[in-house]
């Protein structure tokens, strides 16, 4: 086979168009190479052909370069992604890909390179995609460097003694670069994610803010009184129960002549958490009584109820919050409403004073604290301490954090860690995190309800991932639509159960009709605050949305609501609205603001008779940890691609918008169109209203009807005896 410069030109033009490309010539005779940044003029083609005839292999950098070299720093843009099969994969398998390659070059018999044109792929993701493609097809994973050069077609391959030429064996001549996000979705590649930062380690090293504060506070506290010595040890142990904490306590304790190493070790081993002593106790002692120097243990105790309350607040600042009249306690992962949280801690707290002797007449702070009234007074005073008070709006305000039953997940980095009081999380998903959990039943179910549409299945995964976030930036209403027994309710209910406190099932009445007096109680609306998902099933046929409310709930607008016997509150909803329906609700055809929010999701399958599986719901609930991992992959898609467009959803939405145009439906069914035709406005509206009632749909008002006709180009004219529409008449 002779050289074919046409193939070389096709190859170069496909990736670089009229721009120069970086070529590399490998001379087999001298074992040297040279690089050139070239446009393919006639003279250049002759030069390349001559070099190839005399023993040089010709290769071209696929990605765009700056012309200054062939390193990663010289690459300015990604033009394509590709694989080098080296005989590890069949051509039939590659051509049967979810996205077939745009070009395939046979480099030698049985070996080929496959290329996909791609648009906008960030340089930092090129290696990720190349590795995933290599793993998909079992090809060479080392083909992942940005400045990679590949053998050009039409030229001889001097790797072989026989006359072997690289040849184009497949070329999609209508190929255009695929937007990189679409390529990820259509090829079912794993979305990239941010690298998590290194998990924080709670140790008493110099980098710990608390450790620095403790070391600064300790010199102010005498180590001689037993009470001081014991409380400081317990406080340090509450934060660092390892050897570093013991060393810190021991270093301070050695300042006392009473120091005994054996007693020190034995006491440390007896310390346990939850006994009412924390770092807050230590800081309080240093601040309040540090000036006392070698004062007695009694001098380092609070003497009034107010001082006791202050020390209580210092001690439990990271364990208690008083919110809207209710105590909340820290449960190791999140804050939860607990009316007895302060009482329990108060009882533990006052026990620490029992060793401080009083006069026996009930006058000492220790004696007063042991009474019911003393405990009640302590808790009441604590309610007013600013350190223990929080507004409801301060909770769950970090949209990227998701609490689960065993910790917290940072959604953007996918990092799982223990919860911290500073996270201010009060809600939790109804699932524990297990990185190894799988969900085979759920995976199969999603494929079934998507009717085998892999892109739709991935879109379902993406919207559930989006629902995990504590924001509603996409301003959407997801409408799951299809006839009965198609899995949409099971999909929605399982997702709602997964999200636990973050989700809420709402009645359809909330989304339709007037809510009455704006100042009256609206408990259903008040419950929405802080929720990340709202699930609603079905709406009566012919009923319309309360469009103003739906736009508020899905548009980042503030909402006012009042619970029963509560004050009016204002909040910005962060919930994603999910509505499962058999029949699409009434939405005005020309309400662009409403249609912009609507994302319809088709459920085409029907699971009846032998295909019905009544036990599937229970099996899915047993896979919640795996379903969480599935949803987290949807989070990665959302972070990487945003709320991308799904062709099946967009097609259904367009069809529905056309079908809900009630005026068009009436004109098509009952009217004739013509410039010389006319009808009275009254008879037209009467006929339209009758038509809508026959369809069990709500007609537009006369004003809306008139406006819709005028926007369609029909003229309305006020005349002496009646008003008239021109351009149509009833059949």
Write out the two tokens for 103.
């070009």
Tell me which of 373, 390, 407 is where a domain ends. Answer: 390
In this predicted structure, which of 28-37, 366-375, 482-491, 500-509 has the lowest mean pLDDT? Answer: 366-375
How far CA 715 is from CA of 412, 591, 710, 718, 724, in Å, comes to 55, 21, 6, 10, 8
pLDDT for residue 203: 42
Would residue 446 count as lying in a domain? no
Return d(Cα 196, Cα 207) in angstroms, integer.
20
> Do 607 and 671 lie in a common domain?
no
Burial of 532 (0-12, 13-18, 19+ CB in 10 A): buried
How many C-beta neighbours within 10 Å does residue 241 have?
Answer: 15
Q: Clarify whether residues 179 and 215 are in a common domain.
A: no
Q: What is the pLDDT of residue 507?
A: 87
Q: How many Å apart are CA 66 and CA 74, to the nearest integer?
A: 5
Least confident of 11-15, 241-245, 401-405: 241-245
- 425 — phi, psi (to 5°)? -100, 130
CB 598, CB 479: distance < 8 Å:
yes
Cβ–Cβ < 8 Å for 266, 260: no
Q: At residue 98, does pLDDT exceed 90?
A: yes
The last residue of a domain, from among 368, 390, 412: 390
The token pair at 240 is 């660092």
| CA-to-CA separations, 284 to 214, 307, 342, in angstroms, rounded | 11, 10, 19
d(CA 345, CA 347): 5
- Beta-carbon contacts of 42 under 8 Å, excluding residues fewer than 6 positions away, are none
Q: How many whole angstroms separate alpha carbon 341 and alpha carbon 192?
A: 43
| Angle at the Cα of 240 from the Cα atoms of 238 and 241, rounded to 5 degrees | 80
Round to whole Å and give the CA distance between 689 and 684.
9
Instruction: Give pLDDT, residue 545.
Output: 74
> Are 260 and 361 in the same domain?
yes
For the record, the structure tokens of 301 come out as 């105790």
DSSP state of 545: P
Res 150: pLDDT = 95
H-only helix segments in 385-537: 440-449, 454-467, 488-499, 523-526
Q: What Cα–Cα distance (Å) separates residue 181 from each residue in 37, 76, 219, 295, 490?
A: 30, 19, 59, 69, 29
Tokens matching residue 139:
């090809």
Which tokens is 285 given? 């002692």
Q: Using one digit for the tens of pLDDT, what is the confidence trace for 544-598?
A: 677 778 888 887 778 877 776 667 778 889 999 999 998 888 787 778 888 999 9
Pairwise CA distance, residues 80 & 399, whole Å? 35
Q: How confident is the model at residue 362 (pLDDT cuts 50, 70, 90)?
A: very low
Considering 399-408, 476-485, 544-553, 609-618, the range whose residues carry the highest mean pLDDT is: 399-408
Looking at the structure, tell me whether residues 225 and 182 fall in a common domain. Answer: no
Using an 8 Å Cβ cutoff, are 383 and 324 in contact? no
Q: What mean pLDDT is predicted for residues 275-293?
A: 67
Reported as a single tens digit per residue, the pLDDT across 463-488 is 999 999 999 999 999 999 988 789 99
Q: What is the DSSP letter of 721?
A: S
> Is 625 inside any structural domain?
no
Q: What is the mean pLDDT of residues 77-84?
A: 97
pLDDT at 503: 97
Query: What whole-number distance in Å separates Cα of residue 397 and Cα of residue 567?
Result: 21
Compute the distance between CA of residue 119 and CA of residue 122 in angstroms, rounded to an integer.
9
pLDDT class of 600 with cuts at 50, 70, 90: very high
Within 10 angstroms of residue 670's Cβ, the number of other Cβ atoms is 16
> How many Cβ atoms sit within 10 Å of the Cβ of residue 76?
12
**Contact (Cβ atoms closer than 8 angstroms) between residue 559 and residue 522:** no
Domain assignment present for residue 635? The answer is no
Looking at the chain, the whole-number percentage of residues with pLDDT higher than 70 is 90
The SS3 call for residue 708 is: helix
Spatial contact of 660 and 586, defined as CB atoms under 8 Å apart: yes
Total domain count for the chain? Answer: 4
Measured N-to-C along each axis, helices 209-217 and 226-239 cross at an angle, to the nearest 10 degrees, of 170
Instruction: Specify the pairing of strand 533-537 against strand 503-505.
Output: parallel
Is the domain of 33 the same as that of 61? yes
Asked whether the predicted pLDDT for residue 303 surpasses 90, the reply is no
DSSP 8-state class, residue 340: T
The CA distance from 122 to 62, in Å, is 15
Residue 297, domain member (yes or no): yes
In the chain, the percentage of residues whose pLDDT exceeds 90 is 56
Tell me the pLDDT tens digit for each residue of 499-532: 999 999 998 888 875 555 555 557 788 889 999 9
Which two structure tokens, joined as six digits, stand for 436?
């190894």
Both 177 and 235 in a single domain? Answer: no
Verify that 672 and 723 share a domain, yes or no.
yes
Provide the domain limits for residue 695: 661-730
Largest distance between two CA atoms of the chain: 114
The token duo for 445 is: 């179910």
**DSSP of 114-171, one letter per residue?**
EEEEEES--GGGHHHHHHHHHHHHT--TT---TT-EEEPTTSB-TTSSS--B-EEEEE
**Rounded Cα distance, 579 and 256, in Å:** 69
CA neighbor of 385 nearest in space, from 329, 328, 311, 330: 311
* CA 627 centroid distance within chain: 14
CATH of the domain at 599: 3.40.50.300
User: Which of residues 595 and 302 earns the better pLDDT score?
Assistant: 595
Please report which residue ranges of 403-526 form alpha helices under DSSP H. Answer: 440-449, 454-467, 488-499, 523-526
Question: Both 702 and 666 in a single domain?
Answer: yes
Let me know whether 148 and 223 are in one domain.
Answer: no
Q: Are residues 36 and 170 in the same domain?
A: yes
CATH number of the domain bearing residue 104: 3.30.70.1790
What are the tokens at 282? 């230590």
* The pairing of beta strand 671-680 with beta strand 568-571: unpaired
Q: What is the band of 209 on the pLDDT scale with cuts at 50, 70, 90?
A: low
- Residue 518's CB is within 10 A of a number of other CB atoms, namely 9
Q: Of the candidates 598, 628, 657, which is a domain's last residue? A: 657
> Domain with 702 in it: what CATH number?
1.10.10.10
Residues 31 and 172 in one domain: yes
- The answer on pLDDT for 336 being more than 70 is yes
pTM value? 0.77
Residue 665 lies inside a defined structural domain of this protein: yes
629 is a domain residue: no
30 by DSSP, 3-state: which? coil
Cβ neighbors of 638 (< 8 A, separation 6 or more) are: 462, 465, 466, 469
Q: What pLDDT, in 10s, does the model give residues 665-717? A: 899 999 999 999 999 999 999 999 999 999 888 888 999 899 999 988 999 99
User: Strands of 503-505's sheet, edge to edge?
Assistant: 503-505, 533-537, 576-581, 477-481, 598-602
pLDDT of residue 541: 65
In a domain, 619, yes or no: no
Model confidence band, residue 196 (pLDDT cutoffs 50, 70, 90): very low
Q: Please, are residues 118 and 178 in contact by the beta-carbon 8 Å criterion?
A: yes
Please indicate, yes or no, if residue 401 is contained in any of the structural domains: no
Asked if 478 and 593 sit in the same domain, the reply is: yes
Do the beta carbons of residue 291 and residue 363 sit within 8 Å?
no
């Amino acid at each position: 086979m002779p050289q074919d410069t046409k193939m070389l030109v096709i190859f170069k033009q496909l990736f670089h168009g009229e721009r120069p490309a970086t070529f590399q010539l490998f001379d087999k005779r001298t074992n040297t190479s040279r690089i050139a940044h070239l446009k393919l003029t006639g003279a250049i083609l002759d030069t390349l052909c001559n070099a190839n005839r005399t023993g040089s292999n010709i290769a071209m950098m696929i990605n765009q370069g700056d012309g200054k070299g062939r390193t990663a720093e010289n690459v300015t843009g990604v033009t394509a992604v590709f694989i080098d099969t080296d005989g590890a994969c069949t051509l039939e398998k590659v051509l049967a890909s979810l996205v077939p390659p745009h070009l395939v070059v046979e480099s030698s018999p049985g070996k080929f390179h496959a290329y996909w044109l791609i648009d906008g792929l960030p340089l930092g993701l090129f290696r990720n995609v190349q590795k995933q493609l290599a793993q998909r097809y079992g090809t060479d994973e080392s083909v992942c460097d940005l400045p990679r050069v590949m053998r050009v077609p039409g030229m001889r391959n001097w790797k072989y003694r026989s006359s072997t030429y690289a040849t184009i064996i497949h070329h999609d001549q209508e190929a255009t670069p695929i937007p990189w996000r679409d390529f990820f979705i259509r090829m079912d590649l794993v979305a990239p994610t941010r690298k998590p930062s290194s998990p924080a380690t709670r140790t008493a090293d110099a980098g710990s803010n608390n450790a620095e504060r403790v070391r600064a506070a300790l010199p102010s506290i005498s180590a001689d009184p037993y009470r001081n010595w014991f409380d400081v040890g317990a406080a340090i142990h509450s934060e660092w129960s390892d050897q570093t904490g013991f060393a810190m306590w021991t270093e301070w304790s050695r300042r006392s002549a009473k120091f005994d190493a054996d007693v020190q070790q034995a006491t440390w081993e007896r310390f346990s958490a939850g006994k009412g002593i924390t770092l807050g106790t230590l800081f309080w002692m240093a601040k309040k009584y540090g000036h006392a120097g070698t004062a007695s243990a009694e001098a380092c105790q609070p003497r009034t109820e107010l001082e006791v309350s202050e020390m209580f607040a210092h001690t439990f600042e990271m364990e208690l919050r008083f919110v809207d009249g209710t105590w909340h306690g820290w449960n190791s992962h999140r804050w939860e409403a607990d009316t007895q949280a302060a009482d329990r801690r108060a009882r533990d707290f006052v026990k620490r004073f029992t060793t401080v002797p009083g006069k026996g007449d009930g006058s000492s702070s220790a004696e007063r604290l042991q009474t019911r009234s003393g405990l009640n007074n302590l808790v009441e005073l604590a309610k007013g301490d600013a350190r223990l008070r929080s507004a409801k709006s301060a909770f769950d305000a970090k949209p990227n954090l998701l609490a689960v039953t065993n910790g917290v997940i940072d959604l953007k980095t996918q990092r799982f860690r223990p919860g911290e009081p500073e996270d201010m999380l009060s809600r939790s998903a109804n699932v524990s995190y297990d990185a190894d959990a799988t969900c085979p039943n759920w995976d199969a179910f999603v494929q079934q309800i998507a009717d085998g549409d892999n892109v739709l299945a991935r879109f379902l995964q993406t919207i559930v991932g989006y629902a995990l976030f504590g924001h509603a930036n996409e301003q959407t209403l997801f409408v799951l639509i299809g006839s009965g027994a198609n899995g949409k309710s099971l999909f929605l209910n399982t997702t709602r159960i997964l999200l636990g406190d973050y989700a809420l099932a709402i009645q359809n009445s909330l989304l339709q009709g007037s809510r009455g007096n704006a100042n009256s109680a609206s408990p259903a609306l008040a419950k929405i605050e802080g929720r990340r998902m709202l699930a609603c099933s079905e709406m009566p046929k012919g009923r319309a949305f309360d469009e103003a409310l739906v736009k508020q709930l899905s548009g980042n607008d503030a909402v006012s609501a009042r619970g029963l016997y509560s004050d009016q509150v204002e909040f910005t909803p962060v919930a994603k609205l999910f509505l499962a329906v058999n029949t699409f609700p009434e939405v005005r055809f020309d309400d662009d603001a409403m249609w912009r929010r609507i994302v319809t999701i088709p459920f085409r399958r029907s699971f009846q008779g032998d295909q019905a599986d009544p036990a599937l719901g229970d099996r899915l609930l047993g896979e919640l940890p795996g379903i969480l991992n599935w949803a987290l992959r949807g989070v990665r898609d959302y972070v990487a691609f945003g709320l991308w467009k799904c062709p099946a959803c967009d097609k259904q939405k367009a069809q529905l918008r056309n079908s809900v145009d009630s005026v068009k439906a009436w004109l098509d069914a009952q009217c004739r169109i013509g410039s010389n035709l006319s009808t009275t406005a009254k008879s037209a509206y009467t006929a339209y209203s009758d038509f809508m009632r026959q369809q069990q749909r709500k007609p537009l008002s006369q004003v809306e009807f008139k406006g819709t006709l005028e926007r369609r180009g029909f003229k309305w004219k006020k005349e002496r005896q009646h008003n008239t529409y021109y351009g149509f008449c009833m059949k």
